[in-house]
Amino acid sequence: MEAYLQKVYDQQNLTREEMRDVATAIFAGELTQAQMAAFLMALKIKGETIEEMQAIAETMQGVAMQLPMDGANTMDNCGTGGDKSMSFNVSTTSAFVLAAAGIKVAKHGNRSISSRSGSADVCQELGIDISLQASDMVYLLENAGIAFLFAPHVHPNMKYVMGVRRELNTPTIFNLIGPLTNPVQLETQLMGIYRRDLLEQTATVLGKLGRKRAVVVNGGGFTDEASLAGENHYALLENGEVTLHTFTPEDVGMESRDLEAIKGGDAKRNAEILLSVLKAEPGAYYDTVVLNAGLGLLAHGKVATLEAGLAMAKQLIDSGTAYAKLTKLLECQKERLVG
């Protein structure tokens, strides 16, 4: 182990097997906090490779809570965080739109990292239980078509790194691989990432982890989601190949919006924003969700073009179908837990 750590300190890449050994030690609690911090920062400075990202993601999935279900027609749309945009909960809101399209959404998420309210925070405010048992999550996915998977709950071994991550207060490889480690063996995925330079690499890793189709996006203003604040860049994984694409809001018939227009607040405020979007109140929040849900529909293969995805997302919100998904989730949760 010391040789592996020294290799990273010397700015040398680890092989997939070496990274798996280090990750196994991390999730077994065998590294000291000082070793962990030094390793994460050395890895960040060196730059994370495809093999390193794949190995740590696979190891993390191997020690995660196991959800006994087939991942067919199931996707996630969580992002890395780390963009410090302080935006509202875009991916959480968009998840209900994707579920309304008939896609099972295993929404991976955490508490606040780069905003005042993380996915878990806003879900709790809405009355969504974030600490369900595996069988309950599977029940919700099968019956409501959507479930929230709280990262610390489904990845209990992350307890060994949470303190270091908090004290470092900077994005590390765990931000990058968090969205890669959904316990469900997903077929498709939309993943927002705060680093534009890693789009192609991350899409390649998703393919190695079994995704049949995926989109990895970095938005205008370098957000970890598609945005209306400029040129969006994304990598599309399809048929084992990765291609790079760009578009502006104007390219897809949408109005540009400043990032300031989609700032969120605390969990209560962000829950209000989420509900306003699902109730089809026009504005920057609504438009941003349409954009991201449309991109999610493209990532899943539900539509062939982004423009078609935007039209479908708009229809799902305006018709009340997306809001009904939230209601259905809460009803199924109550049925399951109360009986």
Which residues define the annotated binding site for anthranilate? 79, 110, 165
Annotated binding site for 5-phospho-alpha-D-ribose 1-diphosphate: 79, 82-83, 87, 89-92, 107-115, 119
d(CA 318, CA 332): 23
d(CA 4, CA 32): 15
For residue 247, the cross-strand partners are 232
Annotated binding site for Mg(2+): 91, 224-225
Name, in order, each residue with C-beta under 8 angstroms of 105's C-beta and a sequence gap of 6 or more.
Answer: 74, 75, 76, 77, 95, 96, 98, 99, 145, 146, 147
Annotated binding site: 79, 82-83, 87, 89-92, 107-115, 119, 165, 224-225
Q: What is the DSSP string of 189-200?
A: EEEE-S-GGGHH
d(CA 50, CA 203): 10
Q: Which stretches of 219-305 are assigned E, i.e. beta strand?
A: 232-238, 241-247
Backbone phi, psi, residue 232, to 5°:
-95, 140
